[in-house]
Structure formats: structure tokens, C-alpha cells
Amino acid sequence: HSSQFSFVIINLEGKYEYVNGLFQKRFAHLGEDLIGMDSIESIAPEDKNVCDEAIEKLFSDPKGIIQVKLRKPEKDKKHFFWTMWEFSFLHHPNGKNIGIQCIGYDITESEKASIETITMRQRFESLAENISEGYCQCDNEGKIVKLNSIGAQMLGVEASKAIGHNLCEDILHIKSD
């Protein structure tokens, strides 16, 4: 029993043979009893290929552990949970593969934060490019990492060619002592 990790066993036909309590509770909206259900039904349609590729990798490396990020549908089926999984074969004592054991956990909050960070960065970059003032951002060593078109005009350079150059030494020709 786990309050953080889902544990499932999928047979070689892709159907659930075992699901732990956490998985059953989280995905009860998919069916009262998930045992025997095709496991692909619990994956966002857009991630089916990702899952298929992970299974192919597992078959090419039967003793390996394959990590895969999958979206799982929420009850409203409009939203989804982001989950991270490890797939590995479950072996019979005679060495034959009898199923796939999957251990997963919810990464929804970190994925949402990552998407929000990317969105905010894109908004900032768009704003910095479109403001009427010059904008130049340098790293700790004085190298230009961002330069909008107005800033490039003010410095008399092409923005794309100035990136990576030291603002003081290479652009303004100010030598440090």
C-alpha cells in the first residue's frame, strides 16, 4: 500500500492484472474494477505512441527499466494528470516474461509549474522585444544574452551577432584595467 506511488501489473496483452489502491482510487472513474481493462484506456490519446515506444524499448532490453512520462485522464476527461513511470518486466522463476510491472507517481504540479515558467518566459521575451526602449541583458561575465531590436539599434549592432559577446569590451570597446 502506498499513498504516493501507483503500482500496476499489466499482462503481455496490455490488460491490467493488478492495480494498487492508490491507482484504483485515482482512476475509479474509468471503471469500477480496472482488472482486465486495456491499459491504453487509462492514457491520454496523445501519449499512446510514447507508451508504445517505451514498451518497444522494454522488449529490446528485457532486463532494463524504462522511464516514461504519461498523461492520465482526470474524471472530467478534459484535463489530465501528469505521471512519471518506470516499466520493467515481471519474470517467472524460469526467466520467462509474464507481465510488465509499472511504478508511477504524480508529477502534475511540477509539470504545471514548468509550463507556467515557459509561458512567463515567452511573454517576457515578447514584451522585451516589443517595448519602445532598448533592452540588453548580460550574464555575470558581461556577455550579452538578450538584446532587443531597439537596443541593437542603440548599440549599432545586429542583435543576433551581438549575443555572446562582451558588452563593454566587444561592443562598447571599453577595456577593464
Q: Cα-Cα-Cα-Cα dihedral of 36, 39, 45, 47, to 10°? A: 180
How is residue 146 written as a grid cell? 538578450
Q: Taking Cα atoms as reference points, which of 70, 119, 89, 114 lies closest to residue 12?
A: 89
- Segment 159-173, tens digit of pLDDT: 889 999 989 888 888
Buried b (16+ CB within 10 A) or exposed e, 21-44: ebbbebbeeeeeebeebebeebbb
CA distance 28 to 38: 14
Tell how many helices (H) and how many strands (E) occur in the chain.
5, 7
C-alpha pair distances (Å), 169 with each of 61, 143, 149, 157, 165: 53, 9, 20, 14, 8
Residue 67: predicted pLDDT: 96
Residue 112: predicted pLDDT: 87
Question: Which residue type sits at 130?
Answer: N
Whether the full predicted model's pTM is greater than 0.75, yes or no, is no
Q: Are 18 and 27 a contacting pair, CB within 8 Å?
A: no
C-alpha pair distances (Å), 158 with each of 125, 133, 165: 17, 16, 12
Residue 177: predicted pLDDT: 62
Residue 9: predicted pLDDT: 96
Describe the strand order of the beta sheet including 66-73 as a list of residue ranges. 16-19, 5-10, 97-106, 80-91, 66-73
CA distance 144 to 166: 6
Per-residue pLDDT of the chain (177 residues; tens, 9 = 90+): 788 999 999 999 999 999 999 999 988 888 888 999 999 989 998 999 999 999 999 999 999 999 999 998 777 767 788 999 999 999 888 888 899 999 999 998 888 888 899 989 899 888 888 888 998 999 999 999 999 989 999 999 998 899 999 898 888 888 766
